[in-house]
């Protein structure tokens, strides 16, 4: 994997709110022209917090996203583990195309929200069993996102293996269509075919995303399949966080650095 510094070592510092605005950035072809922007949220454009409800959105973030959307003719989408309803609440009043619940929900540019209702119903049938199981593991929180059920153990990271075992047992009982996905102090039970990458492909079939070069920024193992999709299309895949093995072609160390880059390209 190439670091951004290796690709673009001499960048004029910009005066922006992020402290790291003078860090090198991934190169763009002719500024933002012809690109589409797909953004993960927690740990990517926003700093991680002890709980999803505790994240903070910088006051200038919504205006920045509006500027980016204007430059890209609306080709900006959120790609998150959050539900679409939670995304809308976080960035209100923006209502942008979105991939929610790691691909379990997709909102098209026309506002249509697509969900696999049959698999969602099957997953919902095991929530009582999961609630009973995690009641024995103090500090673990269950988040029911309908098409995905997440077990958060950020407050008790030492219990991660127990949480994973519970999730694997329950997913196994649901059948081969369901699997377990691990993220940062979270384990999710989800339909196997629903991923960020597959959901992004659905958006790419529609205007204004069609025939544009994709840029995707993420921070977690749940973003790896989307990095591969973007790489296959000749786009820019960018992972935020510590250096780890990844399919992403570029890396920034912190969400603050990514926010600085977005401010820069919005002004390009």
Query: For 230-252, how does the pLDDT look when each residue is reduced to its tens digit (9 = 90+)?
Result: 999 999 999 999 999 999 999 99
Query: For 45-92, how does the pLDDT look when each residue is reduced to its tens digit (9 = 90+)?
Result: 999 988 788 999 999 999 999 999 999 999 999 999 999 999 999 999
More confident residue, 204 or 183: 204
Q: Which positions are catalytic? A: 40
**Averaged pLDDT for residues 21-33:** 61
Whether the CB-CB separation of 132 and 115 falls below 8 Å is answered with no
Residue 132 scores a pLDDT above 50: yes
Instruction: Specify the pLDDT at position 116.
Output: 87
Residue 192 scores a pLDDT above 80: yes
| pTM of structure | 0.80
For the chain, which domains are there? 4-115+194-267 (3.40.50.1000), 117-191 (3.30.70.1020)
Instruction: Specify the pLDDT at position 227.
Output: 98
**Averaged pLDDT for residues 85-105:** 96
Return phi, psi of residue 134, to 5°. Answer: -80, -15
Sheet holding 76-79, edge to edge: 113-114, 105-107, 98-100, 76-79, 35-39, 213-218, 236-240, 250-252
pLDDT over 70 percentage in the chain: 89
């Amino acid at each position: 994997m190439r670091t951004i510094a290796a690709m673009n070592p001499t960048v004029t510092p910009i005066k922006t709110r992020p402290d790291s605005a003078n860090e090198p950035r991934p190169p763009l072809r002719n500024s933002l022209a012809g690109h589409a922007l797909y953004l993960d949220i927690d740990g990517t454009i926003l700093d991680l917090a002890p709980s999803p409800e505790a994240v903070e959105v910088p006051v200038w973030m919504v205006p920045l996203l509006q500027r980016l959307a204007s430059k890209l003719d609306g080709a900006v989408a959120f790609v998150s583990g959050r539900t679409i309803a939670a995304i809308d609440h976080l960035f209100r009043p923006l209502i942008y195309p979105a991939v929610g619940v790691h691909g379990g929900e997709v909102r098209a540019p026309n506002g249509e929200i697509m969900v696999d209702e049959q698999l969602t119903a099957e997953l919902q049938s095991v929530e009582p069993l999961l609630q009973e199981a995690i009641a024995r593991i103090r500090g673990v929180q269950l988040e029911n996102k309908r098409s995905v059920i997440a077990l958060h153990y950020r407050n008790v990271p030492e219990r991660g293996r127990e949480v994973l075992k519970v999730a694997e047992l329950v997913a196994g009982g649901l059948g081969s269509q369901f699997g377990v996905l691990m993220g940062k102090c979270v384990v999710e039970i989800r339909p196997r075919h629903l991923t960020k990458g597959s959901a992004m492909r659905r958006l790419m079939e529609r205007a204004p995303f069609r025939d544009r070069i994709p840029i995707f920024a993420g921070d977690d193992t749940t973003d790896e399949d989307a990095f591969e999709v973007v790489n296959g299309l000749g786009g820019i895949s960018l992972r935020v966080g510590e250096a780890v093995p990844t399919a992403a072609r570029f890396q920034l160390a912190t969400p603050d650095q990514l926010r600085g880059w977005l401010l820069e390209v919005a002004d390009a």
